[in-house]
Chains A and B, each alone.
Chain A
Amino acid sequence: MFDLAFIAAQEAHEIHAGDGGWWADTAGIMLALPLVAFLLILAFGKRMKYQGGEIAIGALAINALWASVLMVLNMTEGVLTQTTFVIGRIGSGLVFELGWVVDGLSILMYFLVSVVGLLVFIYAVGYMKGDRRLPWFFAAFSLFAGAMLVLVGAPNLVQLIIGWEGVGLASYLLIGFYWEDLANVKAGNKAFLVNKVADVGLVLGAIIVALAVGSFDFFDINEAAISGNAELGAVAVVGALLLFFGAMGKSAVFPLHIWLPDAMAGPTPVSALMHAATMVTAGVYLMARMFPLYQNMAQEARTPMIILGAITLFGAGLLALVAKDIKRLLAYSTVSQLGYMMTVIAAGGYTAGMFHLFTHAFFKALLFLCAGSVIHAVHSNNMSDMGGLRKYMPRTYWTWIAGSLALAGVGLSGFWSKDEILSTLGNEGYQIVMWVAIAGAFVTAFYMARATVLTFHGSYEGEREPHESPSVMTVPLILLAIPTAFAGLLNIPGVSWPVIGNFTEWLAVRIVPMGDHHAESIDWLIGGIGLLAAVAGIAVGWAIFSKDRDSQEDRDLFEIPVFYPLFRRGYYIDDVALGAVGATIGPIARFVDWTNTHILDAIVNGVGMAIKYLGGFVYGIIDQRGVDGVVHGVSAIADGAGSVLRRMQTGQVQQYAASFVAGALILVVVFVFVL
């Protein structure tokens, strides 16, 4: 029934934490609120003034307050508790539980999902105004946030998978929100199917790990990983790689990143939420949650993870260089930044990865909302239709600049988190990867300079007069710009603020803490090199793209032979993947289709025809001629006999009397003479 498990392990690991009191005990309400909002909006959204937007915002506003309280509690004293309810048993020995974890990691995610989600929801009210199916939009949006909260609050792998699939479902619904256009439907399908491929890995990994440990609980699994459980050790590498494969889908790690750029088909607020706090952070969160498994047990799994992460962070950055669609550019940038997080977590930098996730959530949401604001103004996603917008949209421009600088790692929050990633990679001995990451920082700054110049500088190329967006959209931008600028200060290496401490300390409040590397002091050399790379990227980008040309298309002339088509086609991964699917699954599908049409359908059709003819026979011969014939025959006989015999009924009483007498005489004759 009610199984309140206060994890008492904190003393053994010398972590000082409170239990968070009422706020943590009932944190499950946070998980349920957006799901309740989902149902309420479906039921009543149509009749409300903002089409259900007020319910969605209300639910997330409560969540944001709640998460902020938990955040403050965690900053000051630390919060560490887990509440679970036993729902049922899985097989023999495994228990299926639902509940919520409240520790540093999950509080961070609650905070991100709720606060960023709230700002995006408010923005969406302005952005989506007058749109089709608004109640459905807000309902699915609430479902999206709610599923993510279920995911990050999960105390075990089963609930994580439930939230995981809920996020996948909601993203599918939202990417295909404008389903009147076939391309959007296809983008939704692609996202869903690519994620499904990865989910196979997640489910298999969860089962393998849970069977080895005997529990789905993160606490048990991580304890087993730290204490060197032999059974877990036997399957740790396979399980860790399978779980990582699952995370690759949601967190868009090469080569499973192909769904994310296409996911731009959804409304821009969806993209903002998807790239900042929900969906793509799920994979990184899973890696962080299972960190002891990777840190203590499955070291062999870390090399392929780092290699894939490095490919992702650099390769996706190059793709962003040639994107023409501003949202697609930001999408590739997200893929690249996720590559940073995955790489550094795989390299042992738990804090660095989560810190980058934290700052990235703010500035990427900000950039997407800025892009949405621009798209709202010029009614095009294409950067060649923009240009010179800084004069028309000053608020959007300056917040965009803040986001771009943060993303490029020049000052602001992104500098501190990227610096931490670089120094962690260096300290852990991954020098080559560190240089790749520095090159990635150069590329990042380069494409953000390009995007900024093409969008906001030069002369305007579009048709209609652009205008600044309404305050319901610009206020969230400004509110997001604040953490974008200052969130980096929360984790300056070696600096612990009075009362609240720093980010590293908050994250260390974990159900199973682990000794990951985090820098104790500022590494001026690496930080300087990273900053230099970023500034160089901005300078080069500015030099190339800010030249005056006749049109936007000419300004974007950046066609390196061979590489340009390679980048434009996204390394042909889509073609290769579709080709591979076509080559392997295609014949099978065609065979199944042929079997279906020619054999199964033939059988079904044959049986159908046989029954049809049988039915025709039964009706025509047995029923119409046999049964009906008998009935009609009997009635015809009765009819005929009646029409003959009724002539005896003459109405002449004396005739009756005469036949009566005649009959009596016959009887007399018979009795007297015959018998």
Chain B
Amino acid sequence: MILSQFLILAAALFAFGIYGLLVRRNIVLILLSVELMLTAVNINFIAFESVFRSPDAIGQVFAIFIITIAAAEVGIGLAIVLMIFRNRKSANVDELSLMRY
């Protein structure tokens, strides 16, 4: 097992996620980018766990937590997106700038 390979993969996924988060205009894609970043973090957790074996397998537990929370987050996020789209006929994040000074 070469730890650095996993870390490079995770870093690449995280970087793609950030890129998507900052550049994409569609809310659905932004949500997907966030999922990418979470996946990158999960890979890191699992990779470190498989190398450094903690007594209670904390790395794995955290990964499962993150998957659970990600699922909940996507559920709520998509629901919000759906409601926004129904009201505004658009899912473009540039147009959703009502909450400003």
Measured CB to CB, the residues of A under 8 A from B are: 646-647, 649-654, 657-658, 661
Main secondary structure, interface of A, reads helix
Residues of A within 8 A of B99 (CB): 649, 651
B97 touches A650 (CB 8 A): yes
Residues of B within 8 A of A661 (CB): 18, 21-22
Assembly CA distance A651 to B22 (angstroms): 14
Please tell me if B52 contacts chain A, counting CB pairs below 8 Å: no
- Chain B residues near A650 (CB-CB < 8 A): 97, 100-101
A468 to chain B, nearest CB (A): 104
In the complex the two chains form, is A654's CB within 8 Å of B22's CB? Answer: yes
Q: Determine the distance from Cα of A650 to Cα of B99 in the docked complex, in whole angstroms.
A: 8
* Complex Cα gap A647–B100 (Å): 8
Task: Find out whether the CB atom of B22 lies under 8 angstroms from the CB atom of A658.
Answer: yes
Q: Which residues of A contact B100 (CB under 8 A)?
A: 649-652
Contact check: which of A647, A653, A658 meets B93 at CB < 8 Å?
A653
- In contact, A653 and B18 (Cβ under 8 angstroms): no
C-alpha spacing A410/B34, complex, angstroms? 139
CB-nearest residue of chain A relative to B100?
A: A651
In-complex Cβ contact of B21 among A646, A647, A654 (8 A):
A654
Min Cβ gap A669→B in Å is 15
Give the shortest distance, in Å, between A572 (CB) and chain B (any CB). 99
**CB <8 Å contact, A649 and B101:** yes
19 A-B pairs whose Cβ atoms sit less than 8 Å apart in the complex: A646-B101, A647-B101, A649-B100, A650-B97, A650-B100, A651-B97, A651-B98, A651-B100, A652-B93, A652-B94, A652-B100, A653-B96, A654-B22, A654-B30, A657-B21, A657-B22, A658-B22, A661-B18, A661-B22
Whole-angstrom distance between the Cβ of A238 and the nearest chain B Cβ? 100
C-alpha gap A657/B19 in the complex (Å): 11
The proximity string for B residues 1-43 relative to A, scoring 1 for CB distances below 8 Å and 0 otherwise, is 0000000000000000010011000000010000000000000
Separation of A649 and B100 alpha carbons in the complex (Å): 5
A650 CA to B101 CA in the complex, in Å?
7
Distance of A657 Cα from B93 Cα, bound (Å): 12
Task: Report A-chain residues with C-beta under 8 Å of the C-beta of B21.
Answer: 654, 657, 661
Q: Quick one: closest B residue to A642, CB to CB?
A: B101
Which residues from A are CB-within-8-Å of B30? 654
Contacts of B94 in A (CB 8 A): 652
* Residue in A646, A647, A651, A661 with the greatest tally of chain B CB atoms within 10 Å: A651
Chain B residues with Cβ below 8 Å from A652 are 93-94, 97, 100
Complex CA–CA separation, A661 to B100 (angstroms): 20
- Complex Cα gap A359–B21 (Å): 129
> Would you give the shortest CB distance from A35 to chain B, in whole angstroms?
84
A98 to B96, CA, bound (A): 99
Q: How far, in Å, is B32 (CB) from chain A's closest CB?
A: 14
Q: Which chain A residues border B97 with CB–CB below 8 Å? A: 650-652
A654-B93 contact, Cβ under 8 Å, with A661-B18, A661-B22:
yes
Please report the C-alpha to C-alpha distance between residue A661 and residue B93 in the assembled complex, in whole angstroms: 18
Q: Which residues of B are found within 8 Å of A657, using beta-carbon distances?
A: 21-22
Q: Which residue of B lies closest to A643 (CB)?
A: B101
Chain A residues with CB under 8 Å of B96's CB are 651, 653
Q: Which chain B residues border A651 with CB–CB below 8 Å?
A: 96-100
Closest CB of chain B to A272's CB: distance in Å?
A: 97
Which chain A residues lie closer than 8 Å to B22 at the CB level?
654, 657-658, 661
State A647–B97 Cα separation when bound (angstroms). Answer: 13
Complexed CA–CA distance, A647 and B21 (Å): 23
Q: How far is the CA of A658 from the CA of B101 in the complex (A)?
A: 19
Interface residue ranges of B81-101 to A (CB < 8 Å): 93-94, 96-101
Please name all residues of chain B whose beta carbon is closer than 8 Å to the beta carbon of A658 when the two chains form the complex: 22
A659 to chain B, nearest CB (A): 11
Shortest Cβ gap from B89 to chain A (Å):
19
State how many angstroms separate the Cβ of B91 from the closest Cβ of chain A. 12
> What 0/1 readout, one digit per residue, does chain B (43-55) give for beta carbons within 8 Å of chain A?
0000000000000
